[in-house]
Structure 1
Amino acid sequence: MPSSQICPIIIAGGSGTRLWPLSRDTMPKQFISLLDDGLSTFQATLLRVRFEGFSAPIVVTNHEFRFVAAEQMQAVGVQGEIVLEPERRDSAAAVAVGALLAQRRDPDALALVLAADHVVVDAEGFRADCAVAGQLSATGLIMTLGIVPTSPSTAYGYIEPADPLPASNAWRLKRFVEKPDAAKAREYVEAGLLWNSGNFVFPAALMLEELARFAPEVIEGARAAVDAAQRDLDFLRLDAAAFGTVRKISIDYAVMEKTANAGVLAARFDWSDIGSWDALHDVMVKDERGNIAQGPVVAMETEGSLLRSDDMLLTTIGLKDMVVIATRDAVLVADKAQAGKVKTLVEQMKKDGIREASEHLRGYRPWGWYQRIDIGDRFQVKRIRVKPGGKLSLQKHFHRSEHWVVVRGSAEVTVDSQVRIVHENESIYLPIGCVHRLANPGRIDLDLIEVQVGSYTGEDDIVRIEDIYARG
């Protein structure tokens, strides 16, 4: 008998390069606050399924994002399983892993696959549609949540419905159609095709059967990776060797375009995958001139534009339908109609070895974060924040010495065999080669300035001797 609860499988391992420079490999869009509610889309997704009718979520993410995911889950009071992919293998692998774990939790499990970077404002409508899709999927169908198009968009794939199902807005699924050109998109909208949201509801056992039928190499590798998975603190780390054998393929290509057991529900809730800056502009509340201004922004004779600055003052004059995004180390200026090309721009910057294509100035760690202030020949200056109770690894460096100045809070500093407390406006020197550790024993954030001097100041000049976060 099908489960009375739906198990959410939240896919949160993507890089989101189309929203560069805000979203980068080291901190992608699903973990960033994009809207005005102060939540990341990952947190908003968690909250949408923290209701009766849903079981604890299974979050599948990249091992590099494990501490960010755990911290954001804790911040919104959601408990669940965090599964770590050793590398990105596309959505079929993540869905296979999630379905396996859901079935092991409950042999009759119904599962819901969700992307962590989508925006849904009508959460109640979303849950109602999931309930309907769950009832239909219990009859032996993989139900896709289709979206009624608001325009003939070329940014989404389309779904063609077939025979009606016993619900007012549901059908058997006839076919999936890849992202079309503009003419085809208009034709599809006029013919009643739906956008493919990438959200699915299905019996876990059925998805596993279809994977075994159409993509056996995916399910075999995923099963081996789950069978050999290891606990790492509060995470479930998939076996790297087994997971590396899984073919890179989307769940659409692997299963959904081949299965005869699929249906589509025309969802009644609002939806956006915020796959580009112009898509984000579409879902946000605008001023009387059609602008969105976030951060320190002054706009004159500007309309229809998305303007965001994380730090510096951003000013514009005479712009129309533009995207201007300013971070501390990079600025994007683009025609809104060309915003979809940002991914291509980022790929070119990566080929050219431009660091800002992938990395933020701020690097997040399980104990807090650090942010580069300045860097030059033989020196680097950082700001470091350590959360209460946070503790850096016991470590040493071969190529640099360090000087720490405490700005706020109190630091517990270990230098070789000595431990001392360093208070605000006090400093301590760490010579090259010393074994040292920084910890925050207090109840408020610890902020300090770190000055590095030496022949090499890269992050890989760290020899970890002991680490409470089990990092290698």
Structure 2
Amino acid sequence: MTSKIVPVIMAGGKGTRLWPLSRATAPKQFIQFIGDKTLFQETLSRLADPELYEAPIVVTNEEFRFLVAEQAREVGVKLSAMLLEPVARNTAPAVAAAATLASDLFGDKAIIQVLASDHEIVADKSYYDCIRIARDTAAKGKLVTFGISPTEPATGYGYIEIGDKLPEGAHAVKRFIEKPALEKAQKMLEAGDFYWNSGMFMFSIPQLVSELTEYAPNVLKAVGKSVSKAVRDLDFIRLDADAFAKCPDISIDYALMEKTPNAAIVPSPFKWSDLGSWDSVWKTGTRDESGNVATGSTTLVNTRNSLVMSHGVHLAVQGLDDVAVIASEDAVYVGHLKDSQDVGKLVKLLANAPATSKLTETHPTSYRPWGGYTSILNGDRFQVKRIFVLPGKKLSLQKHHHRSEHWIVVKGTAEVTIGENVQMLRENESVYIPLGEIHRLANPGKIMLELIEVQTGSYLGEDDIIRIVDEFGRH
């Protein structure tokens, strides 16, 4: 039985509102926006106090499992578990599954804190004061949420009206309000006693289970079966797919918080944003004297109150006001900041057109458990990639039916297996892998291995890989 808080991080979302940096296979929680850490890594950093927290449980999906593991490793945070959802079923099943696992790992009286992996939070003293108030309130049998002090009449958030103050410092919840129209949001801002619904929670496991039994028994039943049939795979716990698929697709707010008489809210003055649009990224950034937030390779002339970010090409912006100009490696978005809530509609148009659908799904850079690769140039019957392999990692022993490959090492040392032959390649050395030949690439060194791969052949898709041996259990 632990007396510390067990953090549960929700990291499975596939948001596209921050396109083109955010894609279906590389969503915003795993991307560096401002600073040298991703939002997921910033979330992990807020859980660093070993006096307050146990090692976190991360709830994510199959697609992101190696991203989660690698980004946690980069910031030196050990995870207590990584729970893989076979299908997306909203927050109520995810929270129930994590609570069931936390009960097994830390005792059935543990307190869990549910966090989003993609929020921007300033974790100052007021933040940790709120965490402790929420913990003490949850220990008394309340289901606790964090209400953010509103700074404007925002229409993109739900609101919570607070009621009487409770002994531990939280307040009873009077009512939850759906995302309001501007006029209603303005009235709530003026009235006080209304807070933004942050989507962060604190629960004691016994109280959570008790209330799910009463208000969402079908969620609890399906999740219980899914956890009991879960399978361990390397560092991951895979929930049973058939049982989990039977869970209702419902949020913890609808399933529980809006029904229970035991809901409590901690009024929270710390700086918070869900970074749900480019407008909110601009608001949380550090603005220059012209009101601009600029990151990456950029030049701004006679431009005001704008967000300019580049993850690739150099962006030069002249004579504009109130715009977002965002460049990824393969796409550029330009629009008024005030319209940035509607980027999702644009992404749907792109996704529905065969010529542009790939721009909404994947980045030129893809991450794998051993490192990853960036697509540099695609042509008729040839493709050029930059491959990077982490120290001590190796790719699967594999072969291809339709392509041959040339590898040129540009950094580090490569151990190359071709058929029965194993050889070492150093910087500026190269090797040729004929079509159909069994081969493997490994990094035996202490620094990142980087090489340029030139593929030639009649078909160059990623599915032309026949894995013979793979230490990550892929087929």
Which of 27, 45, 49 is equivalent to 2:43?
A: 45
Q: Distance in 1 between matches of 2:216 and 2:399?
A: 47
- 1:268 positional shift: 2.5
Which residue matches 2:314? 313
Q: Distance in 2 between matches of 1:404 and 1:10?
A: 39
Q: Distance in 2 between matches of 1:407 and 1:49?
A: 38
Q: Say which SS state the counterpart of residue 252 (structure 1) adopts.
A: helix
- 1:214 positional shift: 2.0
- 1:131 positional shift: 0.5
Q: Say which SS state the counterpart of residue 120 (structure 2) adopts.
A: coil
Q: Distance in 1 between matches of 2:464 and 2:158?
A: 45
Which residue matches 1:77? 76
Which residue matches 2:58? 59
Q: Distance in 1 between matches of 2:168 and 2:426?
A: 66
- Comparing 139-148 and 25-34, the one that deviates more: 25-34
Which residue matches 1:187? 187
Give the partner amino acid of 1:49.
Answer: L
- 1:3 positional shift: 5.5
Give the partner amino acid of 1:446.
Answer: L
Q: Distance in 1 between matches of 2:447 and 2:231?
A: 34
- 1:124 positional shift: 3.0
Which residue matches 2:177? 177
- 1:212 positional shift: 2.3
Asked whether the 8 Å contact 2:297–2:312 carries over to 1, the reply is yes
Give the partner amino acid of 2:185.
Answer: A
Which residue matches 2:383? 380
Asked whether the 8 Å contact 2:418–2:437 carries over to 1, the reply is yes
Which residue matches 2:3? 4
Which of 388, 391, 410 is equivalent to 1:407?
A: 410
Give the partner amino acid of 1:281.
Answer: W
Q: Distance in 2 between matches of 1:270 and 1:387?
A: 36
Q: Say which SS state the counterpart of residue 246 (structure 1) adopts.
A: coil
Render the CA deviation track for 1:26-60: whole Å, top value 9, x for unaligned.
Answer: 21111112122x11111111121221222221111
Which of 455, 460, 463 is equivalent to 2:463?
A: 460
- 1:166 positional shift: 2.0
Which residue matches 1:231? 232
Asked whether the 8 Å contact 1:8–1:56 carries over to 2, the reply is yes
Q: Distance in 1 between matches of 2:47 and 2:411?
A: 38
- 1:148 positional shift: 1.1
- 1:314 positional shift: 0.5
- 1:98 positional shift: 1.3
Residue 291 (structure 2) pairs with residue 299 (structure 1): no
Residue 365 (structure 2) pairs with residue 362 (structure 1): yes
Q: Distance in 1 between matches of 2:347 and 2:125?
A: 37
Q: Say which SS state the counterpart of residue 108 (structure 1) adopts.
A: coil
Which residue matches 2:332? 331
- Comparing 195-204 and 246-255, the one that deviates more: 246-255
Which residue matches 2:346? 345
- 1:435 positional shift: 1.2
Which residue matches 1:418? 421
Render the CA deviation track for 1:135-173: whole Å, top value 9, x for unaligned.
Answer: 1121111011101100000110011122322255x3211
Asked whether the 8 Å contact 1:103–1:205 carries over to 2, the reply is no
Q: Say which SS state the counterpart of residue 17 (structure 1) adopts.
A: coil
Ranges in structure 2 where 5+ consecutive residues have no aligned partner: none
Which residue matches 2:452? 449
Q: Give every structure 1 segment of 4 or more consecutive aligned residues whose post-TM-superposition deviation is greater than 3 Å.
A: none
Q: Say which SS state the counterpart of residue 446 (structure 2) adopts.
A: coil
Asked whether the 8 Å contact 2:7–2:114 carries over to 1, the reply is yes
Q: Distance in 1 between matches of 2:299 and 2:438?
A: 49
Percent of aligned positions with the same letter in both sequences?
50
Render the CA deviation track for 1:340-397: whole Å, top value 9, x for unaligned.
Answer: 1111211222122320111100000111110101112222111101111110011111
Q: Say which SS state the counterpart of residue 259 (structure 1) adopts.
A: coil
Which residue matches 1:469? 472
Render the CA deviation track for 1:208-253: whole Å, top value 9, x for unaligned.
Answer: 2222222222222211121111111112222222222222111111
RMSD: 1.4
Residue 230 (structure 2) pairs with residue 247 (structure 1): no
Q: Distance in 1 between matches of 2:249 and 2:223?
A: 12
Asked whether the 8 Å contact 1:60–1:94 carries over to 2, the reply is yes
Asked whether the 8 Å contact 1:311–1:328 carries over to 2, the reply is yes
Q: Distance in 2 between matches of 1:137 and 1:163?
A: 16
Ranges in structure 1 where 5+ consecutive residues have no aligned partner: none
Render the CA deviation track for 1:259-286: whole Å, top value 9, x for unaligned.
Answer: 1111111012111111111101111111
Asked whether the 8 Å contact 2:46–2:123 carries over to 1, the reply is no
- Comparing 236-245 and 92-101, the one that deviates more: 236-245
Which residue matches 2:128? 127
- Comparing 269-278 and 202-211, the one that deviates more: 202-211
Give the partner amino acid of 2:291.
Answer: G
Give the count of matched residue pairs: 469
Residue 24 (structure 2) pairs with residue 25 (structure 1): yes
Structure-2-length-normalised TM-score: 0.96
- Comparing 210-219 and 438-447, the one that deviates more: 210-219
Q: Distance in 2 between matches of 1:99 and 1:227?
A: 13
Asked whether the 8 Å contact 1:374–1:382 carries over to 2, the reply is yes
Q: Say which SS state the counterpart of residue 363 (structure 1) adopts.
A: strand
Give the partner amino acid of 2:403.
Answer: R
Render the CA deviation track for 1:416-472: whole Å, top value 9, x for unaligned.
Answer: 222112222222111221111111112221111111111211111111111111223
Q: Distance in 1 between matches of 2:107 and 2:58?
A: 17
Q: Say which SS state the counterpart of residue 273 (structure 2) adopts.
A: coil
Asked whether the 8 Å contact 1:298–1:316 carries over to 2, the reply is yes
- 1:106 positional shift: 1.3
Q: Say which SS state the counterpart of residue 13 (structure 1) adopts.
A: coil
Give the partner amino acid of 1:156.
Answer: Y
Which residue matches 1:91? 91
Give the partner amino acid of 1:75.
Answer: E
Which residue matches 1:155? 156
Q: Distance in 2 between matches of 1:219 and 1:433?
A: 50
Which residue matches 1:260? 261
